[in-house]
Amino acid sequence: MTTDDETLEMLVAEMAAHDAPITMVLRPTSAFQLASLLQLALRHPGTAGAVRGVALTFIEHVRQYFRDAPTIFEVLRRGDDPVFDVPSRITPEEIATLRAEVANGSGHECGEWSAGDRCQLCDRPLAIRVRYEPVGGHVHCRLFTAPATTETFAKAGDLTFSEKEWPLVSARLATVAELLPEDE
């Protein structure tokens, strides 16, 4: 048995011995499916750092390939936009049922289905946290919301700004959200 540290050390050594670029040919369908899968992975708050940049670059290449296909282009755009996430498409009837259950004391993931600045199920106001990371000439941001009364942040949306825009954007963001670098 090797320890995690030893595994990491061997992984780094093996990676260093494989620096030739990988050339891959993908069918357009496969590229589209992979991009969708990466968009899903990017929703996970743990998807951070360099791996995030790789995923965003891949998705961008796929997007460029489909730039003359308006429907596919739009579906890829929606994949980037948390507003179109499946949970936000819950019906008003389902929301009403869940609200009643929460009112009767059942637990819920607060803020998971937010409307505006409130949790739709218990009406608690949401706090906003922005994680930012400079990548190349841009600053990638991930937005999280959380009920103001807890520390649990959930639901991320992505934004990218140029380094030129960042000073103004970050100053404005700081007035409405908690601004933190990715590595904190």
* CB 87 to Zn ion: min, Å: 13
35 vs 121, beta carbon nearer Zn ion: 121
Residue with tokens 């579906």: 75
Minimum CB–partner distance for residue 144 and Zn ion (Å): 15
Q: Give whichever of 75 and 95 is closer to Zn ion, judged by the CB atom.
A: 95
Q: At its nearest, how many Å lie between Zn ion and the CB of residue 126?
A: 9
b/e sequence 31-58, b meaning 16+ C-beta within 10 Å: bbeebeebbeebbeeeebeeebeebbee
Nearest distance, CB of residue 164 and Zn ion, angstroms:
38
Residue 63 or 108: the one with the smaller Cβ distance to Zn ion is: 108
Nearer to Zn ion, 59 or 121 (CB): 121
**Minimum Å distance from CB 130 to Zn ion?**
21
Contacting positions for Zn ion (CB under 5 A): 110, 119, 121-122, 124
Compare residues 79 and 147 and give the one whose CB is closer to Zn ion.
147
